[in-house]
Structure 1
Amino acid sequence: MKPDPQIVALAAALSGTEGGAPALDTLRQVLDILPVMVALMDRERRHVYANRAYLERMGRTADDILGLTVGDLLGPDTLRGTQDTAERALKGEVVQAEGWLPRAGGGNDYVVRMHVPHRGPDGAVAGYFVIMQNMTDRRRTQDDLFRLAYYDPVTGLANRLLLVKHMGDFHTMGEPFTVVIVDFDRFVDIRTSLGQGFANEILSDVATRLSNQAGAVDLIARISDHAFALLIGGLCDPAAIEPRLEVIAALVRSARSSSGASVFLSASIGVACASAAHERAEDVLRDAEIATGRAREQGGGRHSWFDPAMHARVVEQVRLEHDLRRALERGEELWVAYQPIVEMVTGGLAGFEALVRWNHPERGNIPPGVFIPIAESTGLIVTLGAWVLREACRQIADWQEKRLPGSAALFMSVNLSTRQLNDPDVVPLVRDVLRETGAEPSWIKLEITESAVMEKADQAIQLLQSLRGLGIKMSIDDFGTGYSSLSYLHKLPIDSLKVDRSFVMAMHQSEENRAIVRIIMDLARLLGFDVIAEGIETSADANLLRALACDYGQGYHFARPLPAADAEALVGAEHLPWQEPR
């Protein structure tokens, strides 16, 4: 075979001699020191040459490998797997591929391969070169980075990012799909009380149960600290999905730790179906989360299907939250109304309850039942509650100077929300407000709902004791509507029970309803508490409560919540409107 003049010229350059005889050996040395694997195959895919890196990879010597195919070295599967690239190289193409390649001694390496035609002196393809580089470490690093980016380390499930990517693929292809979100109720309490390790075991157990028993899904992902999402491809079929939701709820309830310990766990489940109205795949996930929030608002442990009205409601809440933040910053739209609290026997004015009101510049008066839940859910209630407390204390301090001579000191009831109850700064706040406004602690009565107290009873008792230590009074609001325990009730450092309006309104319906109110009164007297009845709307209500020896009352029968100026007119009045014959 006549030497290629270009190779001869290269050999001459390498050897420094015109004939270049030593150059071939030099080239071999160069090839052998390369980390890249190089081999030359004939047209029958048999080895003609291999450098040292290639031989070490195959576990063979140069003499052993000559005349053998890659199938002889690594098995027929590898021969078949590389057939397409080999045939294309033999047709004159330069082909690049990458993938896992088995090792002769076992295991796999991830390699990048090039199949390059080898042409003879006449220009015809006489075989092909195989040039390979081991990229296993880089591939494993990429895989690790991919797992970190797209998978949850606790459960091994896909994460939110990968879910959105898969949803985007469906959306791009115009394929329908459904998203089901499974959000655990009270999971934060479980983690706080039992520890992160136990919580992770529960998460892993639920993930396994969902993967094995929740039916066919395209993807299951952990999308937040306490929520999973199931991606179900195909047309949305509520009749088929509804039974699966019951199965999913049962799987959550049956969760166990790795040691077999169980905890009561329920889930709020939201479902949303992709539709033409969704401009982006993420919008479907958003709607499923909105539906989940609706299920949670209804008490949890249930499921809810998304409908457009839910989205409109969420948008409205976001707008109101923004406007409420602005109102708190400007201090111009919010005001405090004061509803009189009456001494039931004498009809005299005993005090007031401070109630926040919002006069929106565009929407007018917004009911507390609309903006208070928004303030609670966003944490704005802490700022709002502090503002109301400060206004109420300033007002009662001023009114004490204007009451009738010789009359008893008035008290001011102020609601303390669940968020405020959990705020570590609430005791210093109350202390500072009392000092700033000059209000005596005995004039202030903080009202806390029964459910808020019993949710974390021991913690609440400590906080109430600290507040009581300031000299203020405490009251349980809406008594009878929550889940209080008599074993805790006598331990609570409180002064009053407030009978919920629902019991007052039902008193005239039956003897049983009257008996409930009587029992509350008797219990309060036994424990040394005052009783305040709210929701008194008629003289019949007032007369019956007097007969039951109720201490104080409030309601429309006496007066509605009043602006400060109107309430102040009652403070020094010798005759009060509700004392007049009707």
Structure 2
Amino acid sequence: MPIWDELTDAIESGVIVTNPQGYCIYSNAYARTLLPLDPMDTPFDSHFSEELRNIFRGEHLPREGQHITAHLKYRSAHHPAEMDLFVKSRPAGGAVVFLNPVRPEISEVMQSEERFRSLVEISPDAICMLSERLDIVYANSSMAALLGIPDQQAVGLNLWQVVEPEDQTFLLKLVQALPSEDQIMPPTEQHWKSLSGERLEVEVVCRSWVEPNTAERITVLIARDIRDRKEAERQLRESEARHRTMLSAIPDTVFLIDRSGVCKDVHSPDPDLLAAPVEMFLGKRIYDLFPPHLAEMFEHVISRALETAELQTIEYALDLGQSVQFFEARVARHSEEDVLAVVRDISAQKASLERLEYLNQSDQLTGLYNRAYLQDTADQLILTADPQNVVGVMLWDVNRFKDINDSLGFAVGDELLQAVARKLRKHVAHPDLLGRLDGDEFAMVLRRSSISELMQVAYSVQNAFEQPLHFAGQQHILSLAMGLAIYPHQGQTYHDLLRQANSALRYAKLNRQGVAVYRPEFDLPSSERMLIEQELRDAIQKRKLVLQYQPLWDIHQQKLWGVECLVRLQNRQGRFISPEEFINLAEETGLIRRLDQRVIELAMEELRDLDFVCSVNLSPSTIRDSEFFAWMRDFALRLGERASRLQIEVTEGTLMQERDVVVSRLEEMRRWGIKVALDDFGVGYSSMSYLKHLPLDVLKLDRSFTTYLGESETDNRLMDSLIQLGHGLGFKVIAEGVETSEQVQWLRTHRCDLIQGYHISRPLSHRDLRQWMGALK
């Protein structure tokens, strides 16, 4: 084929023709110089490392042919290792193959261009090339994705269609650029829109230049989707604004302190909260600001907060010259290198807590210890006594106190008790305990080396009261009776000794004997105890208990809100037995649950047609009794809607014994509709810490808080705080022991809800209560 040879030899490429089986049937001279072996009569793909059999058979080739880079299988120093092939299929089958050796410089350029194109294609930024008219002549996949269209549809789109009108100024700059001018535009933020109408926020960088060969201006534009960044910036601004608002609302001072203890920033809502101007703190170390012991403590706390990322809290005192101030600092890690210290002045809170602690352990009238504090601490005094020592529990009672109270009034009676307390205080010394138990009854717990020393104290007190006492503007002669029980001879615990001392005191009063030391025969005779027990059993069984009702008065609506039910026991001779005697006996004999049940039944029966609350006191043992709880559930079901008229009164002491059980049962009773009141609040335990967790409806404030209302500024502030405390926790507040119109007016002004006391009414029988209510109408 001379003509074919001449034609193919004129081509600056090797030419190979293959048949449908992929065998070489023709090669020009240049092709044979490129291949190390003769191509004829062998499968042409055998010359190459790649699998090209189907290609050389002319199968699966594009109509316009296909470019392939292939590597020779058998190479020598005279033959190129890499070949550039262009393969085009023959109509009769097989293929025509044009071969050219790949020159290194061209290969590197092609590889560089390929790498560049790959980088552009995989770039997360949207990249396009624009014509002079700003038509997109090339766009990577990120640009197409940004515009919300398929890759191939981005080409031909004009940028004027994409950029929002308010940001098209930069397009005019591109269009109006001088023909010979290269232009680089700095990053700008723009608003675009996708073809679906979605508004986009992008950051755009572009460069344009004039191609020297074609004189055409080419522009490359890179756009970055900044919607997420903008949203994050917006959220950050909002977060910072919230934090600034919150910080300005915090009443505390906030310090930013680094790891080395240097103050980097200070925020204070009020400059007066700081001991010096803010500038005096900045850049100062904690050792410059605090005494060494406090600085060392802060250094440890800062280190601890950075290491553990846990909140650290400390309290400390600073001597500011005129006063000592107390502070609380809460230190939390802010970053790896600094902490935030939120500092609050707790001086007022500290003073209030100390005042509350004093109130919770003290009798409000006399300032002596109260019953609960004595109960908590007396056993410790007994247990720590030296074996050679004795401990005496003395009970003192003012003779004829009731007569004085009734004839001269409660206010004078209170002054008398205060005068007695002052005189008794002179006869005790550390670690002795002196407290007021109730009414006119005082207790001493004394540790001495012998019984004779205890008796010396007793006679010394007796002698002191032979001198007149000054109270209520007059001089009064008083006498006291005392009962004494001694550890370890007559009891091992304060509770036992107190009971024995009470027996001795009863003996001293009955026999008009000033002082009595306990002897077993002083106990209530067994026959008398049995008689009272029998009377109590009969009264419970035959429903002969006597109930009295003391009104609970709404001072704002001027109407009866409810009554407190009080139980009385009459013997066969018609004499009333002291509640202390038969209630204590009921506790000891296990009758207390039946007694409480019968009182609730009788009260709700007697008042069944009256629409107000009936409040009944429950014994601590009753509230914990599972049989009573089951009975109470059935009784509440029988009452139906009337269950809301029943109120249960419990004391703080009740809540402190098996607290979880008691609280859960009170919560259940409230679900049945029964109200719950806390009686005599403020005279017992440290109520503030747990009061907010109790299932209560009503807070009854002990009468000791009412006595000096309007007269003592301290009592006024205390009562006002207690009323606000009750209201803040959502409780109704009842003031007990109200006896004067001035007290009523004060309580009304300070928003107390209800009052109870002799100013409204003494306890009344069922019949007298109805007459009293009739008189109101």
Normalised TM-score (structure 2): 0.35
Bigger Cα Rg = 2
Q: Of the two structures, which has the highest relative contact order with CA contacts closer than 8 Å and spacing of 6 or more?
A: 1
The structure carrying a bigger helix percent of its residues is 1
